[in-house]
Each structure stands twice: as C-alpha cells, then as structure tokens.
Structure 1
Amino acid sequence: MNSMTPPRLLDISIQSVLQNEASAIDALAWLPIDLFRPLFTAAFKGGHRETVKVMVFSWPFTYLRLGMLMEDCESLYDMLEAALDGLEMLLAHTVRPKRCKLKQLDLRPNSGTKIWNTWLATQSNGSPTSSEEPAAIQPSTQTPKEGRSRAQEKHPLLPPVNVLIDLCFQEEITDEFLTLLSKIIQQGKALPPLYCRKVEFVGDVPKFSIIGKILEMVRLDSVWDVEVGGPWDLHDLNWFAPYLARMVHLHTISFSGIALDCLGLCRQERVEKLLAKCTSHFLHLHEVEYLILEGVFLHRRLHQLLKCLPNPLKYLTINDCMLVDSDLTYLSCCPCISNLKSLDLSGVFGKDIHFGFLIGLLRRLSATLANLALDSCGIKDSELMALKPALGHCTQLKSLALCGNPVSKDVLVALMHHTVPRCQFAFVELPVPPHCYVGPNNILHEDTFQGVIHDLTLTLPMSRPHSIRLLSSHSRNGSDAIVIDFKP
C-alpha cells in the first residue's frame, strides 16, 4: 500500500495552471491574493521563468522571501535572473502596477537575526511587524550616495524596493546570485539598494575589481557582521579596510588566518605603516561589540589593533594566535576591554608567557566578566592556584573552560571550593587530571576517573539543583573534560 500523502486539490490546480504559462500570467490579474504565494513557490521551483518574472512585477505583498525557495531549486540561476528581471521591469515604471506592493526582496536563506531586522525596520518611519510580513525598509534621510541606484535617481518618487542579502566571497565565485550580480554589473544595469547583514571572505579571495563593484552596490551601513578567513596579509586588509570603515553599524569582526607582518616580506618600517593605515579605519567603528581573532599572527602587534577601537568591546576571542608578553601586558590595561562580558584566550600561551598579567586582568574585569575560556593554555597547578583568588573575585562569572591544561585533581577541587560559592556558574568545563591516565598509551583508568568525579561533586552546593554531564576520551586533549552543568 502506498503510504505517500495524496496531492492536495490546490497543488493539482496550480500545476494545471502552470502547464500553460501564458494562461498563468493572464490569470494573475484576477487571482485571489491568498493563492499568490503557493503559485509563486510552484513556479519558482518548477522553472517557470516568465511566470516568476511577472509575479515579482505584480507582487501584492510588501515582502517576498525568495531565499527560502533557493535551496531546492534545480534551475536557481535562471529563476534568480527571472526574479531580478521582474524587479528591473518594476523599477522602470514611474507608476507601480495597481496590485504591486513589493518593498523588500529577501534573498537570504534564512531571515537573519531578529535584532538586525528590527534595526532595518527603524530605518523607516514604520514599526517592525511579524516575520511573515516585515515592515518595509525605507532608506534613511541621510542615504549615502553609493547606496542610491541609477533607477532611483531617474525616478525619485518611485517607492523603493530593497534587496536583502548575505554575501560570501570565495576563491572562485560559485554562488548563483553573485554570478548573476557580476553579470548585471558588467551589463551596466541598475539595481535597488542592497542591504546586507553579513559579509564573508573564505580563503584566498582574488581582489578582483568586480568584488569592489559589488561592495559599492551594498548599503555598507547595513552590515553587522564581517568574517575574513585567510590566507590574507596586510596588503589584502588594506584593500578591504576602506569598505570596512563605511560599515558604521558593524557589531562583529572576525579575522582568521591573517599574517600582520606580511610573512616577513616587508621591512619593519613598511609593516608599521601598513598596519597603521589599516587600523586607522577602525576609528569609524563605534558599535563593534565582538572581536574574534583566530590564527592571526599578532606577534607584538596586538596593541596596534586594539588601540584603534573607539569604544569598549563586550566579547573578545583570541585563539591560537602567537602572542608575547608585551601583547598580553597591553591587553590587561587597554581601554577597549574594560567592560568585557566574554573573554576567550584559548591556545595563546606559549612556554615563554608569564601568567601574572592575567591576575590583574581578571581583577579589572571582575564586575562584568561572565564567560572565560582558557583551554589549552599550558596552565599548571602553581599557575591555576595563583589565579584562584582572582577568579573568586569574578562574581558574575557563569562559565569557565579550562580543558587541555595539565592540572591535578587536588588543585581542581580547591578551585571549585573557592569559586563555586562566589561565582554564578552555569557551565564549568574542567580537564581530566593527568593521573587518570595509565600506561604508555594513556588509557583512562575508570576507577581513578570516578574518584575525581566524586570529589568534584562534593564541591557542589546541596542547596540548589544541579546535574553533572561527563565527556571523556582516551587521548589527552581538549575533548577530555568533566562538564559540570548547574540547572536552575
């Protein structure tokens, strides 16, 4: 017996209408509004190019969430081209079609972050509406010159239609929308303003002029999140920095795989000038809250990067970066980390690093710090005992991660006895002590391991509910962890 759900009468009717595309287009004049969405979905996924084009031209809602249909579309490039042809046809009219109310064309696979959508709604005089039919986004009264398309300049009274996108540039442009966008630029066609929540570079992206032209089409003040994944060097960063400076509402900057010394190819004086030129653009970024640095060669350069941030950060991640004592000394006193809520310094400490700076840093952040990660930092018993009083002063601390550090059971128990009554832990991740492993292959000794669990459990307060999750493996690395999770 076939258990498949039989097709609905509505679906059968839509497929029947689409068999004759000319009839489908003629039917749009009298088609009930409730049928527009299912008909458009079937037309887009079924490759009915002309129907998609005309439906965009006559869309009776303010919002068209096209990105949600892109994943399962077999002829995506053609359908995107059809949708943008319909948009171009709409922009060419000084008077809108009677039924058309389109103000936003959303090409994002998902709706993005709620806070970003709320911010976009505040750019108009309206208030945010539901996610199904968001408020239309009007360009602000101080729209930058680069955000205005030629179509808007030609027809200034035409209500704008804004395109919402996320951009991901890779070594080869394989994204259908970016390919289409490149073609539109090369043909000199006009497009409405592009609003973009996230701009991402993956790999060794060639700095083609076409990428710069695409960025020029974006309302750069709408970008909230930038991710740059190398290999990049200072020359590449200086190419991008002027665009970054215009992202005045940027909240998150993430750099990975970047060499700030140009891989030793430049003289020291040249490196200083290139870095100063690059970081000077950071002075325009007054809303940055997250800074993520992973695998960035920061050797004696951290102060040049942080001193140009005009306002304090809330979240700072520096992972697997080559630092020296002078970098960490500056970190402990720089103005931009005075109100940190989250600090992740996993994998940054080498054998020549002294931990004394961390004591002063933790005391400075004791009133605000909620999350601290020091995984794989080479922290030993004596160093963790020295940090224990400072950790106890962090009364807002909710999570602490210390995986991958060779710390004994007695020190872990002492740390928990000292910090649990003083902090507000919801999540603590501790390393499995070295003595739990036996033999040349470092096999986990179960009885010893259970003894550690028992002793740590005794440090937990009995006056409030809690639970213990255990994660362990048979190799001494960051995945060997006792995870203690307090549940309210």
Structure 2
Amino acid sequence: MHSLVFFCAQKVISDYASTRKALDYIPREIYPVLFKAAFLDIRTLVLRDVVQRWPFGVLNFSTILKKCKHCDRDVIREKPNKQCLQAVIMGVKDYLLNELRQSRSASNRKHRLLRVVDLTGLQDDGDRQDADTIGQWSRTVALAKACIDISRTSRRDEYSSSKRRKGRSGTALDANCENQLCVELHANLFITSNSYTTVKDALQIGKSSPLCLKCRDLRAEELSAKKTVSILELLDPVVLRKIELRYNNLGLAGLNTLFPYFPLFGNLSSLRLPYSNIDVRHMTPEMEESFQSMVSMLGQLPNVKELNLASSRLSGRIRELLNVLQKSLESLELAYCYLLPADATYLANSHHAPYLKKLDLSGNNLSDVLLGPFCQILQHSSTSLVYLDIMECRVMDRQLTTFLPALGLCSQLQYFSCFCNPISSQGLKALLHTAVQLPVLKVVVHPIPVDCYEEGLPWPPSTYDLIDYSIDQEKLSRVDAELNEIRLKAVRTDILTTVELYNDFSLDILQLY
C-alpha cells in the first residue's frame, strides 16, 4: 500500500524536466519519499538530481528504502538496481564537484550538508547473476573507482585553480578550503585478488580525498595474509564491525599474522574465518605456539558475538577457543570441525549456549557419542535459538527420534536444516509433526527420504550417494503429499518444507550487529 504522499511523489518524478525545476522548492521532508519513489520506478535522472541536492547530513539507504508509512515495500531487502546505484554515485560526485568549485569562491560559499552516504544495508546477489542488479563485488569496485575519480578531479581542478590564484611572488596562495569538504561513503566491501589494487588505492586516498571510503563489513577472498594486512591497516577502526576471510588458505601461520590487528577494531562484533586450513590434530611445538597466540588474541576482542571457524579441524580445542571470549556468542558456526564429545559437552554447558541464535554443526558426526551433548545444547539454547543447521551429520531415524523432544523445546526456531542425512519418510513425518508445533518456524530443509531412492542404495549411504543416486519420483511425490497433509491439518501452511538447499532465508532477524 502507498500513501497519498507517495502517489504524489511518483507523479512528480514522472516528468523529469518539471521535477528538476521544482526540487529547490520541494520541502526537505519530502526528499526521502522522492528518493524511494525514484529508486522503485528506476528514475535515474531524478535520483541523481535528488542526491545532488540532498538536504540532510546523512543519506542512509536502510532508513529510506525500508518499509515505511508511505510505502510498505521493503526495498532494502531486494537486490539493488544497477542503474539506480550508478545514478546515486553520480549524484554524490555531482554534489562534491559543485561544492569544490563553490568552495574556491569566497563570495559563493554555502553551508555544506551531506556528510555520510550509507549503503551498508544493500543486499548481495549471492550465487545468482542478474543483469539488472549489482552484487557486492561489483558494487565495491564501482565505489572504489568513484573515490579515485573524485580525488583525481579535485587535484586537477585545484592545480588549475592554484595557477590562477598565484600572487606576485609566483607562489600559490593558501587554499585549503576543499580539505574541509569530505563525504564519507560507508559500505560493505568484498575484495578479491582481482579488485585488491583498486580498493586499496581508494582506501589510501581516503584521508585527502573529498570522497572517503569507509568499510563496515569486510569480506576478503583469495587474498594472502600480506595483502589482507595492507587492507586492515587502511580501515577505520571505529567503523569496522565485521571481518570475513574466506578461501584464503591462511593456516595457523597466516592467521597469526592477522590476529594482532583484530583487537584494533573496538567495535568488531563478527569474525568469520571459514576454510582457513587449521588442523590441530597433529601439532608441532611451533604450531602449538601459534595456536595459543591466536587464543590469546581472541580473548582481546570484547564485542565479538559471531564466530565462524567452519572447515577447520579443531578436535578437542573448542573450550580453549571459546572460553576466552568476553561476550557470549549469538552465532557460532563449527561446520566440518571434527568435533569430539568434549567439545560438544563444553558448548552445551558454556556461557554461550543460553544466548545462541544461530548454530551450524553441519558435517559433524551426530550418529554416536555427540548425540547426547547435542541434545543438551538444544535444551540449553531452547529459548534463544533461531537458526539451526545439521546438514550431513549422519543422522538416521534413531538419532532423529532421540533429539526431537529437545528440538520441540526451541520456541524461537525459524530455520531448521537436516539436509543430506539418511532419514526415512517415517522419520520425516515425525520431524514435521514436531516442527508444526514450533510457533515461529518458517523453513525446514530436509533430505530426500532414503526409501524414495531406487533400489540398491548403499547402506549406510555416503553424501555422494544421497546427492547423486537415482530417485523414485513417484514415491517422493507421495511423501510430499503426506508432509503437506500434516501441515494442512496443523494449519501451518506458512512453513516451507523443501529438499533444496535454501539460501534466501534472511538472517537480519538475528540482529547481531
């Protein structure tokens, strides 16, 4: 639903020539509505002009594009339109160039308003490519290039201006007024080896450029420890809240190079280090020293609430890693970490368990000695847990039956995945009977039942078997119908049940930072 104000805004922006003439006379309170209307209707010329004349100190995408009283469409949760974002960037550049030129004329100075453009709420494009939208990597490059372009233009203009303003002695007159002009561009940056040089250049010029790139969430992939350090050294320690280093193959030695930098970021609340190639099962004295150093540095991070150590072999060392954290974790990902019973038992009784909102234990063997501690974890986090993933944990009907009572206690659970586990159709129906009793559950990702495969499925089946073995579609259709009947009888058609890996579930509800 749209308000009358929003309908009027859409009408105004439908005629660009008229809009441009009217912008200086439109009340400042209407500008956010005009911005959202132009963004929705892809009125790029209007967007550019609205940004150039923005009458507030902050232009925050999350605030403007969220659901509001004038428009109930939550645009901030959608992938951003490429043309619209480019128009916004051009509008910021226009604003700065105008201000730079006016600042050189003492008689033509005006009060500068815009100080921060915040794009941190924009969605990523994930694994799906869309020609009309722009993902985080492309967005990072576009913003970095904009900062570099503005810096070059301002230096070129200043050089030309200084030549015109030389005194009789031939020395340029002091002209630092443009140094007081700075718009901070807050964004989540995604850096790879291909974009490293461009982003680094943009960050380096930040202190002297009119457009200063500030990183809130850093995601780096396929970067060496040396390159990662060079990026960390350029980031604002106050603004940065999240560090994600993925597919970098750093190992303990590489992480030991990086960890001393992490405590410099006092507001760091999320540290994600998946696929870091750590293996604590066969440690040399040097490796043990590196591990203990890493543990010590973790203890110096006062605000971390999210930790991802997925795909590192951390058998028996979870207590050491998590016990030093000053704040209770709300998100913990230990997928494929080769956990031992001692690890799971510690987690169940730790100060983290009652506060966990997200827990990912995928790839750990819950079919045997971890099952009891896992039930304890569910019991102790039952009032907080929102997201639970136990994909590929060798769970069969017996184990499922064992932990279903504990799962049924998780009153806040919204997402549950047990994908790629050898569970029968009877086990799935038991799971769904429990699931429909959970009041806010939205998504259940379940495996294809083992009795819906063609004859000859190896037992116990491997992950490869569960993914690639032939399926009896007729049997699967019957099971789907039975599961749907359970949802209908419980009046829970709001629950999505799927055998596909589900990546569209929004974790904004966790509100970790």
The TM-score range, normalised by the shorter chain, is: 0.5 to 0.7
1:179 to 2:201 alignment: yes
1:292 to 2:308 alignment: yes
Determine the C-alpha separation between the residues in 2 that align with 1:83 and 1:215: 29
Give 1:277's match in structure 2, choosing from 283, 293, 301. Answer: 293
1:219 to 2:236 alignment: yes
1:251 to 2:278 alignment: no
Q: What is the CA deviation profile of residues 176-233 of structure 1, one whole-angstrom value per residue up to 9, with x for unaligned ones? A: 4433444x38xx957787532111211133514xx64654443212112221113312
TM superposition shift of 1:358: 0.7
Determine the C-alpha separation between the residues in 1 that align with 2:280 and 2:55: 53
Tell me, yes or no, if the aligned pair for 2:442 and 2:495 is still in contact at 8 Å. no
In the other structure, the counterpart of 1:435 is: 451
Residue 275 of structure 2 aligns to a residue whose secondary structure is: strand
Determine the C-alpha separation between the residues in 1 that align with 2:84 and 2:224: 27
The correspondence of residues 113-124 of structure 1 with structure 2, limited to 5 A, is none
Determine the C-alpha separation between the residues in 2 that align with 1:341 and 1:347: 19
In the other structure, the counterpart of 1:129 is: none
Give 1:228's match in structure 2, choosing from 245, 264, 276. Answer: 245
The correspondence of residues 59-458 of structure 1 with structure 2, limited to 5 A, is 62-63=57-58, 98-106=109-117, 108=119, 161-173=183-195, 176-182=198-204, 184=205, 189=208, 195-205=214-224, 207-208=226-227, 212=229, 214-231=231-248, 232-261=250-279, 267-349=283-365, 354-418=370-434, 420-421=436-437, 424-440=440-456, 442-457=469-484
The correspondence of residues 33-72 of structure 1 with structure 2, limited to 5 A, is 62-63=57-58
Q: What is the CA deviation profile of residues 117-141 of structure 1, one whole-angstrom value per residue up to 9, with x for unaligned ones? A: xxxxxxxxxxxxxxxxxxxxxxxxx
In structure 2, do the counterparts of structure 1 residues 215 and 404 end up closer, same or farther at CA, with 3 Å as the change threshold? closer
Higher strand share: 1
TM superposition shift of 1:378: 0.5
Tell me, yes or no, if the aligned pair for 2:353 and 2:380 is still in contact at 8 Å. no
Residue 333 of structure 2 aligns to a residue whose secondary structure is: strand
In structure 2, do the counterparts of structure 1 residues 12 and 413 end up closer, same or farther at CA, with 3 Å as the change threshold? closer
**Counterpart residue type for residue 278 of structure 2:** L
Tell me, yes or no, if the aligned pair for 2:116 and 2:186 is still in contact at 8 Å. yes
In structure 2, do the counterparts of structure 1 residues 33 and 420 end up closer, same or farther at CA, with 3 Å as the change threshold? closer
**Counterpart residue type for residue 109 of structure 2:** K
In the other structure, the counterpart of 2:72 is: none
In structure 2, do the counterparts of structure 1 residues 352 and 88 end up closer, same or farther at CA, with 3 Å as the change threshold? farther
Determine the C-alpha separation between the residues in 1 that align with 2:199 and 2:91: 10
Determine the C-alpha separation between the residues in 2 that align with 1:275 and 1:459: 49
Q: What is the CA deviation profile of residues 20-52 of structure 1, one whole-angstrom value per residue up to 9, with x for unaligned ones? A: xxxxxxxxxxx9698xx99xx87x99xxxxxxx
Residue 328 of structure 1 aligns to a residue whose secondary structure is: helix
Determine the C-alpha separation between the residues in 2 that align with 1:356 and 1:206: 39
Determine the C-alpha separation between the residues in 2 that align with 1:339 and 1:436: 38
**Counterpart residue type for residue 244 of structure 1:** F
In structure 2, do the counterparts of structure 1 residues 417 and 105 end up closer, same or farther at CA, with 3 Å as the change threshold? closer
Residue 179 of structure 1 aligns to a residue whose secondary structure is: helix
In the other structure, the counterpart of 1:151 is: none
Q: What is the CA deviation profile of residues 448-474 of structure 1, one whole-angstrom value per residue up to 9, with x for unaligned ones? A: 3344335444544736352676645xx
Tell me, yes or no, if the aligned pair for 1:248 and 1:287 is still in contact at 8 Å. yes
Q: What is the CA deviation profile of residues 338-391 of structure 1, one whole-angstrom value per residue up to 9, with x for unaligned ones? A: 211222212222777531211111121222223322121100122112212222
For structure 2, the residue ranges without an aligned partner over 5 or more in a row are 1-13, 27-34, 39-43, 62-79, 125-175, 458-468, 503-513
Determine the C-alpha separation between the residues in 1 that align with 2:92 and 2:114: 17
**Counterpart residue type for residue 222 of structure 1:** V
Q: Matched residues, percent identical?
A: 22
TM superposition shift of 1:166: 3.2
**Counterpart residue type for residue 442 of structure 2:** A
**Counterpart residue type for residue 475 of structure 2:** T
1:462 to 2:480 alignment: no
Residue 379 of structure 1 aligns to a residue whose secondary structure is: coil
Give TM-score, length-normalised by structure 1.
Answer: 0.63
Determine the C-alpha separation between the residues in 1 that align with 2:267 and 2:255: 19
Determine the C-alpha separation between the residues in 1 that align with 2:230 and 2:497: 51
Give TM-score, length-normalised by structure 2.
Answer: 0.60
Determine the C-alpha separation between the residues in 2 that align with 1:109 and 1:456: 40
Q: What is the CA deviation profile of residues 369-426 of structure 1, one whole-angstrom value per residue up to 9, with x for unaligned ones? A: 2332212110012211221222233333333222211112233333444554466533
In structure 2, do the counterparts of structure 1 residues 108 and 175 end up closer, same or farther at CA, with 3 Å as the change threshold? farther
**Counterpart residue type for residue 191 of structure 2:** F
Residue 385 of structure 2 aligns to a residue whose secondary structure is: coil
Tell me, yes or no, if the aligned pair for 2:182 and 2:210 is still in contact at 8 Å. no
Residue 393 of structure 1 aligns to a residue whose secondary structure is: coil
**Counterpart residue type for residue 300 of structure 1:** G
Determine the C-alpha separation between the residues in 1 that align with 2:439 and 2:91: 55
In the other structure, the counterpart of 2:163 is: none
Residue 226 of structure 1 aligns to a residue whose secondary structure is: strand
Determine the C-alpha separation between the residues in 2 that align with 1:317 and 1:111: 24
**Worse overlay, 405-414 or 158-167:** 158-167
Tell me, yes or no, if the aligned pair for 2:54 and 2:114 is still in contact at 8 Å. no
Tell me, yes or no, if the aligned pair for 2:319 and 2:346 is still in contact at 8 Å. yes
**Counterpart residue type for residue 412 of structure 1:** L
CA-atom RMSD in angstroms: 5.1
